[in-house]
Amino acid sequence: MIIRNIKEYINIIDDKKILSVDFGKKKVGLAISNSKHTITTPLKNLKRNKLFHENIQKLLLDYNVGAILIGLPLNNDESLNKISQFIVDISKNMDLYLIENKIEIPICFWDENFSSFEAEILVSDFYKGSKIDKFAAKIFLDDFIRENILLDEKEN
């Protein structure tokens, strides 16, 4: 269930873990929050192969995930480009697979511009030899939580 409205998404994810997904051409980086949205952790990198949807389904169940956040690299004017359209398309395929397997989970997109660049700096400084994808997923999950959930709590 792909949701375009951030406010609607936030109302649904209360007290549920968020899995963030950083799609690449061959690999997918994953990070996860705790249910209170106070801690985010780089989870793992997956290959985007024929087992990808099954692996995502297993992770959703194993980690009791209640929502998915997908990184979307937008243009400076926030319009879609070739890469972001590709990500929207594969996200729809993932959503259809999950629905067919009786998992209806809210999915939302978040602008992830520069998260891979930030992840490269983080990895080179602290985690030499690590793959950056899961760190990029953590970075934009942190950004999403900081801008939407923590700010929303302060306002209320």
Secondary structure, 3-state, 89-132: HHHHHHHHHHHHCCCCCCEEEEECCCHHHHHHHHHHHHCCCCCC
Question: Residue 120: inside a domain, yes or no?
Answer: no
Q: What Rg do the C-alpha atoms of the chain give, in angstroms?
A: 15
The angle that helices 82-100 and 52-62 make with each other, rounded to 10 degrees, is 60
Question: Residue 27: inside a domain, yes or no?
Answer: yes
Question: Residue 146: inside a domain, yes or no?
Answer: no
Question: Residue 105: inside a domain, yes or no?
Answer: yes
SS3 65: strand
Give the domain extent around 99: 1-113
Question: Residue 133: inside a domain, yes or no?
Answer: no
Q: pLDDT band at 117, cuts 50/70/90?
A: very low
Q: Read off the CATH number of the domain in which 65 is found.
A: 3.30.420.140
Query: Which two structure tokens, joined as six digits, stand for 111?
Result: 């602008």
- pLDDT tens digit string along 37-70? 999 999 999 999 999 999 999 999 999 999 999 9
Question: Residue 33: inside a domain, yes or no?
Answer: yes
Mean of pLDDT over the chain: 85
Question: Residue 109: inside a domain, yes or no?
Answer: yes
Question: Residue 140: inside a domain, yes or no?
Answer: no
What predicted TM-score, i.e. pTM, was given to this entire model?
0.84
Q: What's the number of domains the chain is made of?
A: 1
